[in-house]
């Protein structure tokens, strides 16, 4: 029974053309996720699912197995679940028995193999069916507009409490997910059954969505010496 990493990376991108191939600290963006997964001692193989031959060529260069994603599940409205389910079926067809899937988002490059290892161990220890990486939200007083009127979300402004008294909350940062293949197939969702939260440091929650994010992530990775080469 193998633990496998799947990196779903479409060729198209509205914000940054060929985003998964842009250079980040000297490497193609997708290469960081591949190297982090390959460095993990608890992952048996790394697979990249993409509709782009250029991305698959880079995946092969950095030691990942290739899965050509059909065009019908590669558009802007295609879900990550559809790509993961297709990849899982392809891997199973190769007579590989999958224990757990570690799904890494390539646009979240600020993570380390130690994060992946710790999350897998936590998954196993707590007998989970699925897990998501999260970041603890600091103690802020949060408001929202409802019909153009402001309302407090997490406290009563008439009985204002200390910030430290606000109940702890977590942000789903999208860096990675872990799930059993049967969880994905049964729920058609990355999350289902017994779900676990795995907190990672705040600086590892940054994603690359626009050009400004590239310089920010490069600076963070250099400062914290995030390096998985």
First vs last C-alpha separation in the chain: 27
Which residue of the set 111, 160, 190, 229 is catalytic?
Answer: 160
Task: Indicate if 111 belongs to the active site.
Answer: no
Residues with catalytic roles: 160
């Amino acid at each position: 029974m193998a633990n496998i990493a799947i990196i779903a990376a479409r060729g198209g991108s509205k914000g940054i053309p060929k985003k998964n191939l842009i250079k980040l600290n000297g490497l193609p963006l997708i290469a960081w996720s591949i190297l982090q997964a390959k460095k993990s001692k608890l992952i048996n193989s790394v697979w990249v699912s993409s509709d782009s031959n250029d991305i698959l060529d880079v995946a092969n260069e950095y030691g990942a197995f290739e899965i050509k994603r059909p065009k019908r599940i590669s558009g802007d409205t295609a879900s990550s679940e559809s790509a993961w389910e297709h990849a899982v079926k392809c891997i199973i067809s190769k007579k590989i028995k999958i224990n757990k899937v570690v799904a890494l988002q390539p646009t979240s490059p600020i993570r380390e193999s130690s994060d992946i290892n710790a999350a897998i161990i936590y998954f196993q220890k707590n007998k989970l069916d699925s897990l998501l990486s999260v970041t603890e939200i600091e103690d802020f007083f949060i408001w929202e507009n409802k019909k153009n009127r402001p309302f407090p979300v997490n406290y009563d402004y008439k009985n204002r409490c200390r910030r430290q008294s606000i109940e702890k909350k977590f942000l789903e940062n999208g860096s990675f997910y872990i799930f059993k293949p049967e969880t994905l197939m049964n729920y058609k969702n990355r999350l289902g059954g017994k779900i676990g939260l795995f907190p990672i440091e705040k600086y590892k929650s940054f994603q690359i969505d626009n050009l400004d994010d590239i310089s920010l992530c490069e600076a963070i990775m250099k400062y914290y010496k995030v390096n998985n080469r």
